[in-house]
Amino acid sequence: MSAGPVVRPTRATVVGGLLGGAATSAGIALTATSGWLIVRASERPVILTLLAAIVAVRAFGMARPFFRYLERVVSHDAALADLAERRSSVYAALVPLTPARLGRRSRSQVLTGVVDDLTDVVEAQVRVTVPVLSSAVAGLLATALTAWFAPAVGLVVAALLLVLALGCLLAWRVESRSRDELLAARAETARIGDLVARQAGELRAIGAQDAALGWLDDAHAALRVAVRRQSRGRAGVAALILLATAAATVSAAVLVDPSAVGAPVAALLVLVPVAVGEALAPLVDTMRALARAQGSSARLDALLDQEPAVHDPDHPDPGPGVGPQHGPHVRLEGASASWTGAADQLAPTDLDLVPGRHVAVVGPNGSGKSTLLALLARTLDVSGGRHTVDGTDVRARPLAEVRSDVAVVDDEPHVFATTLAENLRLARPGADDAAVRHALGLAGLGTWADALPDGLATRLGTGGRGLSGGERTRLGVARAVLADRPVVLLDEPAAHLDHPTATAVLDDVLDATRDRSVVLVSHRAEALHRLDAVLDLGDRPASPTTKE
């Protein structure tokens, strides 16, 4: 993914650029030949001598939309092919990095960001390569044509092209410099918008409406400054191009000698710089796409160039191979862990998870609750101490095998845009409808599912039926139940739910997972009395205090 320029011409984009060049050239030629035709006509020649010019005018008039159409078809098809190829390769590269290398919060935002960044990079292939090449082709043709009639005017057109290139460079610098500032300002306004949409009630409860609007005003003020700075550069470039066109046209008018080239050609030579200026000015806009793509590409590279947090062992130990009848015995002994490799987010911790035991993990934010779950889910390795399953160090066993014992339910289970049944079945392909219904029932979604218009075939997710927070959490639980894995990890499953819903959901979860090992990370005290042990990470040295 990394190294090399962000925009690399491919065969398809070059063909697109050449076709675009033909279209742009036809546009310039249309203006030039029309001017020639009018002036020649005013000399009142025999009409027949004008026929060639009339045909040329018509041909150029038709060639422009024709070539433009071809260019757009070719370049868009190329972009979509490129997108298809890059999407699967970026996705494949992300799989081993998921979830530990996607950041510790709002992973779905990180992943949505990847989708957007990828789109920017792919769009730039078409939105930069094609117009740059088209403009170069048309500009050089115009220069050659004018130079053939009058070398001095050819020089003028060449100078105009140079100024245009300079304008592009300037625009690119402005866009690059303001890009990060603008992005940050836009992200901040989006953050406040998101915050108020989700927390309006809480803000009203404490009379903080004005404070929230104040944050919004601050964010908008920062956005204003960033946009103003960016627009100053763009405005300068737009003015520069018009001034250069004026200078070029006047120079051409002064330099051209009608007695040498004839009046019609003289008109043509005066009109070409105007036509070039008008046809190529939009080129400056492509620099925005380029600057954006460079930022996006840098972000993608930074994300994808990471080392996976966990690896398959070179010589996997198949493990004791005991059947799953009693579930694995998971132990942490003085286990510490770190997401970044720098400071530990989990201080040395002991945990003895005998099959069927239910353990709650509590502690302040930042005490390592999620880090502990990441260890148990085998998405993170210990940085110190031991993590064993049935006495074997987990690092000696194949990743997929250790993971297949564990089901994770987090606070924001993703609902795929497919049917309810398929949303569950991803946890255990081949599960029949009865098993799916059973899992839904245990997760407290039985009556809800029965009431759905299409039952298990009801489409959920984007474009389908929306789910409330409680229903979503229960869907995650139902997946874990259906997966039938002996260890269930619950990462604040009720964090976003109101109190009565949270209590009800937690009750159902603990009922549904009665015969499995459970580790429940929770901020709440409500359900803790139903667990066998509580591990308080805020209360060091960490070791579970068994109740009674």
Least separation in angstroms between residue 459's CB and another protein is 10
Which residue among 18, 29, 114, 121 contacts another protein (CB under 8 A)? 114
Q: Is 377 in the site for another protein (CB under 8 A)?
A: yes
146 touching another protein, by CB under 8 A: no
DSSP secondary structure string, 456-525? GG-BBSTTSB---HHHHHHHHHHHHHHHT-SEEEEESTTTTS-HHHHHHHHHHHHHHTTTSEEEEE-S-S
Helix or strand (DSSP H, E) at 38: helix 11-42
Task: Compute the C-alpha angle 483/487/492, nearest 5°.
Answer: 95
Q: Does 511 sit near another protein (CB under 8 A)?
A: no
Is 68 or 474 the residue whose CB approaches another protein more closely?
A: 68
Under the binding rule (CB under 8 A), the answer on residue 81 touching another protein is yes
Can residue 545 be called a binding residue for another protein (CB under 8 A)? no
Nearer to another protein, 132 or 310 (CB): 310
Tell me if 499 contacts another protein by CB under 8 A. Answer: yes
Q: What are phi and psi of 335, to 5 degrees?
A: -75, 130
Q: Which of 68, 288, 395, 437 binds another protein (CB under 8 A)?
A: 68
Query: What CA–CA distance (Å, rounded) separates 54 from 57?
Result: 5
* Sole window of 7-15, 138-146, 157-165, 499-507 interacting with another protein (rule: CB under 8 A): 499-507
Q: Where are the alpha helices (DSSP H) in 44-150?
A: 47-94, 107-149
**What secondary structure does DSSP assign to 193-208, as a single string?**
HHHHHHHHHHHHHTT-
Whether residue 243 contacts residue 237, with contact meaning beta carbons closer than 8 Å, is answered with no
Select from 140, 163, 183, 196 the one that contacts another protein (CB under 8 A): 196
Task: Report the residue from 162, 169, 184, 250 that binds another protein according to the rule CB under 8 A.
Answer: 250
Q: CB-wise, 192 or 542, nearer to another protein?
A: 192
User: Judged by CB under 8 A, does residue 458 bind another protein?
Assistant: no
Residues numbered 328-367 forming contacts with another protein, rule: CB under 8 A: 363-367
Choosing from 3, 95, 434, 451, the residue that interacts with another protein (CB under 8 A) is 95
CB of 83 to another protein, least distance (A): 6
If we measure between CA atoms, which residue out of 234, 220, 232, 275 comes closest to residue 252?
Answer: 275
Q: Supply 375's token pair.
A: 């260890």
Q: Does 120 bind another protein (CB under 8 A)?
A: no
Closest approach of another protein to the CB of residue 400, in Å: 6
| DSSP type of residue 89 | H
235 binds another protein (CB under 8 A): yes
Q: Does 30 bind another protein (CB under 8 A)?
A: yes
The residue count of the chain comes to 548
Binding region for another protein (CB under 8 A) out of 148-156, 254-262, 334-342, 433-441: 254-262
Give the 3-state secondary structure of 229-298: HHHHHHHHHHHHHHHHHHHHHHHHHHHCCHHHHCHHHHHHHHHHHHHHHHHHCCHHHHHHHHHHHHHHHH
Taking the complex as a whole, how short is the minimal distance between the CB of residue 274 and another protein, in angstroms?
6
Residue numbers 31-60 binding another protein by CB under 8 A = 34-35, 37-39, 41-42, 44-45, 47, 50, 54, 57-58
Which is it for strands 533-536 and 358-362: parallel, antiparallel or unpaired?
parallel
- Asked if the bond preceding 364 is cis, omega within 30° of 0, the reply is no
Cβ-count burial 232-264 (b if 16+ within 10 Å, e if not)? ebbeebbebbeebbeebbebbeeebeeeebbeb
Q: Please say which residue, 352 or 398, places its beta carbon nearer to another protein.
A: 398
Q: Interface residues for another protein in 387-406 (CB under 8 A)?
A: 400, 403-404
Q: Which of these segments, 127-135, 150-158, 183-191, 511-519, binds another protein (CB under 8 A)?
A: 183-191
- The answer to whether residue 448 forms part of the interface with another protein (CB under 8 A) is no
Nearest to 57 by CA among 32, 75, 80: 32
Q: Which stretch binds another protein (CB under 8 A): 1-9, 313-321, 385-393, 494-502?
A: 494-502
**Closer residue to another protein in complex, CB, 140/208:** 208
